[in-house]
Amino acid sequence: MLRRMLRAKIHRATITECRLDYEGSIEIDGALMEAAGILENEFVLVANVNNGERFETYVIKAPKNSGTIGLRGAAARLGAVGDKIIVFSIGLLDESELKNFKPQLVYVDEKNKITSAK
C-alpha cells in the first residue's frame, strides 16, 4: 500500500509578488527549492497563513538567492504581497520506505532566506 506523506515543506515564506497575467503557478527561489528538494514543474500544495486559502499548483524556479516567492495566474488571487505561506511537497511512499523516512523541512526569515533546514 502507498501512503501519501509530506515529503518536504518551506515554512512561512513571504509572498513577494503576484502577477495575474501569467499561465499560472508559483515561482520559488531556487535556493529554497534546492534545500527542500523540490523540482521545477513539481506539483505542490500551498497554504496561505493569512487568509486560510489552500491551493495546488506547479513550481517555476526563480533565480537562486533572489528571495522570490511569486504567485502567478489564478493563484495570484489567493494571496497578497506580504502574506505568509507554507509550501508542501507530497510523496507516495510504500511501507518499506516509511521506516526511515523524514521530510525535508526548510524554515525562512521575512526575506525568504533560509534560517534552518532539517
The reported pLDDT for the residue numbered 83 is 98
What is the pLDDT of the chain when averaged over all its residues? 97
User: CA 9, CA 97: separation in Å to the nearest integer?
Assistant: 19
Angle at 105 between CA 102 and CA 110, to 5 degrees: 175
The reported pLDDT for the residue numbered 104 is 98
Least confident of 12-16, 55-59, 95-99: 95-99
* Given the residues 25, 89, 96, 107, the one annotated as active site: 25
At 35-77, the pLDDT tens digits run: 999 999 999 999 999 999 999 999 999 999 999 999 999 999 9
* Given the residues 58, 66, 107, 116, the one annotated as active site: 58
pLDDT band per the 50, 70, 90 thresholds, residue 24:
confident
The closest alpha carbon to 106, from 51, 30, 24, belongs to 30
* CA 33, chain centre distance (Å): 8
**Residue ranges per structural domain of the chain:** 2-94
Catalytic: 96? no
Take residue 7 and report the three cell numbers written for it.
Answer: 515529503
Catalytic: 58? yes
Q: What is the mean pLDDT of residues 28-39?
A: 98
**CATH architecture label of 2-94:** Beta Barrel (2.40)
Report field, pTM of the whole predicted structure over 0.85? yes
Q: What is the mean pLDDT of residues 32-37?
A: 98
